[in-house]
Amino acid sequence: MKADSPADTVLELRSLTKHFAAYPAVKEVSFAVERGEFFSLVGPSGCGKTSTLRMIAGLEEPSAGEIILNGQNVSRVPPHRREVSTVFQSYALFPHLTVAGNIAFGLERQRRFSRSEIQGKLNTILEIVQLTGKESRLPKHLSGGEKQRVALARSLVLEPKVLLLDEPLSALDPALRKQMRAELKSLQRQIGIAFLFITHDQEEALSLSDRIAIMNGGCIEQIGDPQTVYRRPATRFAAEFLGDVNWIGEAALRPECLQVSLQPPREGVRWTPAVVQSLTFLGNRFLLGTRTRDGHSCIAELAGDTCRFQPGQQVCLWWNPADELLLQTQ
């Protein structure tokens, strides 16, 4: 089946919907992923992002809507005939197969490669994910980061149209997670395959993605590049999911957009008096917890390694009106 999509679109979802019994997990989700794009789907657990991914992989059947992959409607194509590949949250490495066996598994299923071709592809991908020399190990003898790289290699060696990643970094400890995050980004740039990345971690999404789709309650709330969705969130949910928000009257502000001074500021800015309540030192910055006169709690983020404010002090919070977040009322 041919389906019209723009030439640079590799994956398009059209009103994709999934009901589990009577419960709607995914409601008319539509978006398009471009070739070579790092596209993130973010949202809290239960927002429908994993169900969306599983429908794209073919592991769940959509209740309604279409999945267009590389110009073909694949909505009813079984998973083993779809040119997408998934990196599972738990990696799902085959415990009885070696690193090489795991990576070659998909190639062997295709029956169009000779043994030497498979070996060649295997060597190339082992080098890319830096696992050369570990090909005869079993998964249980690998570290968390190595398992992650095998899972990536196993999918990437098939050169899928889109690589689907289901919270691939969540099983790693925090230090390793940061390292793998950097590796993932450079790997994606190097091979140029589109990544559809699922996470509930806003920092991961902001730092990795070309574009982000924010999902809530089975619907897409906003799609945009990281700076746009962070600085110009469309909805209150999007604003609060991607970072902290201070509410001062009608104005919504990111903590780093609030300035603090002892004297009322110059003209051309907005301000409100407040009382310092707490001071949190975070190494390279301070978080100043304050309460405004009309009772709102506000957190201001101050750069630098010293802070001249004390709890109990009267201060002025001020900001540039251009930094106010403009949110749709729901």
Partner 1 sequence: MTRLRRLFLLPGQAVMTLLFWLPLAIILLYSLLTRGTYGGITLPFTAESYARVTDVLYLEIFWRSLWVAALSTVLCLILAFPLAFYIAQVTRRKALLLNLVTLPFWTSFLIRTYAWMFLLRDTGLVNSLLQSLHLIQKPLPLLFNTGAVILGLVYGYLPFMVFPLYATLEKLDTALLEAAQDLGASPLEAIWRIAVPLTKPGILAGCVLVFVPCMGAYLTPDLMGGGKTVMLGNLVQNQFTTARDWPFGAAVSLVFILISLVVTAILQRRTEDLL
Residues that bind partner 1 (CB under 8 A): 57-59, 78-81, 84-86, 88, 90, 92-96, 105-106, 109-110, 154-155, 158
CB of 296 to partner 1, least distance (A): 46
CA–CA separation, 220 and 241 (whole Å): 13
CB of 25 to partner 1, least distance (A): 17
CB of 106 to partner 1, least distance (A): 4
Name which of 94 and 281 has its Cβ closer to partner 1.
94
Name which of 158 and 205 has its Cβ closer to partner 1.
158
Which residue blocks in the chain are alpha helix, DSSP H? 49-57, 99-110, 115-128, 144-156, 174-191, 202-208, 226-231, 236-242
CB of 249 to partner 1, least distance (A): 49
Name which of 51 and 216 has its Cβ closer to partner 1.
51
Name which of 29 and 158 has its Cβ closer to partner 1.
158
Name which of 34 and 83 has its Cβ closer to partner 1.
83
CA–CA separation, 324 and 319 (whole Å): 8
CA–CA separation, 181 and 86 (whole Å): 17
CA–CA separation, 233 and 14 (whole Å): 23
Name which of 193 and 220 has its Cβ closer to partner 1.
193
CB within 8 A of 124, min separation 6: which ones?
none
Asked if 85 contacts 155 with a C-beta cutoff of 8 angstroms, the reply is yes
CB of 170 to partner 1, least distance (A): 14
- Give the start-end residues of each E strand in 254-309: 259-261, 270-281, 285-292, 297-303
CB of 19 to partner 1, least distance (A): 18
Name which of 109 and 115 has its Cβ closer to partner 1.
109
Q: Which is it for the CA torsion 300, 303, 309, 310, positive or negative?
A: positive
**Residues facing 253 on adjacent strands:** 246
**Which amino acid is located at 49 in the chain?**
K
Q: How many CB atoms within 10 Å of residue 67? A: 24
The phi, psi pair for 74, rounded to 5°, reads: -105, 15
CB of 86 to partner 1, least distance (A): 5
Instruction: Count each helix (H run) and each strand (E run) in the chain, helices first.
Output: 8, 17
CB of 140 to partner 1, least distance (A): 12
**Residues facing 287 on adjacent strands:** 280, 301
CB of 161 to partner 1, least distance (A): 13
Name which of 80 and 115 has its Cβ closer to partner 1.
80
Name which of 18 and 154 has its Cβ closer to partner 1.
154
CA–CA separation, 246 and 124 (whole Å): 50
